[in-house]
Chain A
Amino acid sequence: MTRTLHRLATARIAAVEDSLLHRLDHRTLLVVWGGFILALISVDKYDIARTFSFSAFPLFVLLVARIAFLPLFKRLLLLSPFIVITAAANPFLDRTVLSSFHGFSITTGMISAAVIIMKAVMTLTAMLALDRCISIAGLCNALHRFRVPAVFTTQLLLLHRYAFLITSEAATMIKARDLRSCGRRGKGPRDTANLIGSLLLRSAERSERVYKAMLARGFSGTLPLAAEQRFRLPDAIFVTTTFTGFTLLRFIF
């Protein structure tokens, strides 16, 4: 929960760090990251070498954006059990022997499982890097310019604004419960439902106050967005270079 609060707080700041990537238009970041993920996951399930070659992009962004490796590595260890279980099944179900090495057989199932794990690690690394490079204000601005409805961008801004406050409130409630419960006492579904219900009522009351405050400040249905980012020469160079790289990795090398 501490990490969540910290992340919610930092996402409010336009640029947490300063690097080449942090200065790019958020539309550029979204398009390039989307292109990377599309190119990577379109690689054949047995093409381990080509999949591995795509690790160049996460490595590049981690270096450029000056993202620390250790916290990232810790987060990667928490890879979704769903992915791990799905990948782990492949060696047992696809036993076509591809090669033998001192009596140890390498099967196609092992290759496809390794490819799933590699893709998962790479996409997760890329997303963790993206999450360090974008701010909520920049994201909503980019979405607005991609013609996403104002209802949705306003919702994102409000959600982010109040997630911080209400998560802090929930953290206080959890601490109060933990201080009063010895072991698992008071932590069952029924007591927790009352706790969640109380949080819900407090949230609803807060929304009433927020609405009145917003009306007093001339609210007419949508929130104003931050100053528009511009697509400049560095954005064009970044998009062109990365897409050329993805095309080369995917189709040529």
Chain B
Amino acid sequence: MHMADALLSPVVGGVFWAASAGLIGYSAKKISKEDDIAKTPLMGVMGAFIFAAQMINFAIPGTGSSGHLGGGLLLTALLGPWRAFITLASVLVVQCLFFADGGLLALGCNIFNLAFFPAFIAYPFIFQKIAGKGEQPYRLATGSILAAVAGLELGAFSVVIETILSGNTDLPFGTFAAFMLPIHLAIGLVEGVVTWAVLAFVHRVQPSLLTGDTTHRSVRPILAVFAIAALLTGGVIAYVASENPDGLEWAIGKTGAAEEPAGNHGGIVGHLGHLQKKLSFLPDYNFREGMGKTVQTDSAATGKLQVFGTSAAGVAGSIIVLAVALGLGLLLRRRPHPHGSAS
């Protein structure tokens, strides 16, 4: 369920980056206040455990396919929401930067989708309410399965919202949601069953590990507000951004002026504009006047010529840029310094 940069718009990606960064900062502050350094190595080792556990595949009965544990809910049950959020975020950062799983801009969305929902929604509002301390097996099973399903479904729904708001796909909201949610319902059920089985095993063998954490309760409303604000802000800004390609042009349009004002062509602006026209051989993504000039007969022909000109100019420009990059790359490509050589 890792989001990729290619499906995001800068506004949506930026909003979720801000939301996730804020949550990391707030969680770090809460952990620092607890001043319990004994849990610091536990967080590191548990993050590593989740990393490793995700590689242990299991056969899904009746399907012929296999799956693996996500681990968000399990980690929250072991460490509590603040520490689990930081731990899950660190796993996602390592996956992004060292394994190229999920994009750099999409990292904010991925942290929000895969860490926020299990740590701050599914665990306190579903798992704890149903499973309690996990002493009754059927309550532990129900709590684990429902919380895992809710966490994954919310994450998947968030992916749908982020993708639709970004506007790169033409999939309608309903179709996309109908595609994503049932798949993640099935994944959530399997995740819930495995989480329950692991928790039951730990409860049987070493129950002291499942002490949990209750310090999150005082800030639940703040986090709920944070989540709603992030979603609303993302929605509103992305809507405005997609409806109005450029905020400045939109604002100017509202004043009754032309989309691209003629402006004052004197002074430094005029000189720079003139210089740009001189230097730019593909102005407005088309050939300069005089380059490949053709006879234009009617508006339809003009349109086709413009399309051709734009495409040809674009391809030409791209090839030139690539050639420059290739040349620079080869020029700057150095032989590595031999290790251990005397300097």
Contacts and interface: CB of A to CB of B under 8 A. Distances in A.
Contact of A89 (B87, B91, B96, B171): B171
B224 interface: no
B307 interface: yes
B336 interface: yes
Contacts of B194: 189, 192-193, 196
Query: What DSSP secondary structure best describes chain A's contact surface?
Result: helix
Contacts of B37: 219-221
Contacts of B187: none
Interface stretch (B118-126, B131-139, B311-319): B311-319
A152 B317 contact: no
Contacts of A152: 24, 28, 86, 89-90
Contact of A59 (B35, B198, B325): B325
Given A90-B169, A160-B94, A189-B61, A203 B48 contact: yes
Contact of B55 (A1, A148, A206, A220): A1
Nearest to A33: B104
B31 interface: yes
A127 B100 contact: yes
B53 to A, nearest CB: 5
A63 B40 contact: no
Contacts of A220: 37
B244 interface: no
B163 interface: yes
B235 interface: no
A40 B27 CA distance: 32
A7 interface: yes
B193 interface: yes
A137 interface: no
Contacts of A214: 41
B213 interface: no
A131 to B, nearest CB: 5
Contact of B51 (A64, A166, A206): A166
Q: Bin the interface of chain A by size.
A: 35 or more
A187 B2 CA distance: 26
Contact of B45 (A7, A53, A207): A207
B318 to A, nearest CB: 4
A204 interface: yes
Contacts of B209: 200-201, 204
16 contacts: A18-B339, A40-B5, A49-B313, A86-B7, A93-B172, A98-B307, A116-B6, A159-B51, A162-B44, A163-B51, A173-B56, A174-B56, A188-B58, A189-B197, A191-B58, A197-B198
Interface of A: 1, 4, 7-8, 11, 17-20, 33-34, 37-38, 40-42, 44-45, 47-50, 52-53, 55-57, 59-64, 66, 75, 80, 82-83, 85-87, 89-90, 93-94, 98-99, 109, 112, 115-117, 119-120, 123-124, 127-128, 130-131, 134, 136, 139, 148-152, 154-167, 169-171, 173-174, 184, 187-201, 203-204, 206-207, 210-211, 214, 219-221, 249, 252-253
Given A11-B98, A149-B29, A197-B205, 20 more contacts: A19-B336, A37-B5, A41-B105, A48-B314, A49-B311, A53-B317, A63-B332, A64-B332, A64-B333, A82-B4, A89-B170, A123-B5, A130-B100, A150-B28, A159-B94, A170-B52, A170-B55, A189-B61, A199-B56, A200-B198
Interface of B: 1-2, 4-10, 13, 24-25, 27-29, 31-32, 35, 37-38, 40-49, 51-53, 55-61, 66, 69, 78, 86-87, 89-91, 93-94, 96-100, 103-105, 163, 167-172, 179, 190, 193-194, 197-198, 200-202, 205-206, 209, 245, 276, 280, 282, 285, 304, 307, 310-311, 313-315, 317-318, 321-322, 324-326, 328-330, 332-334, 336-337, 339
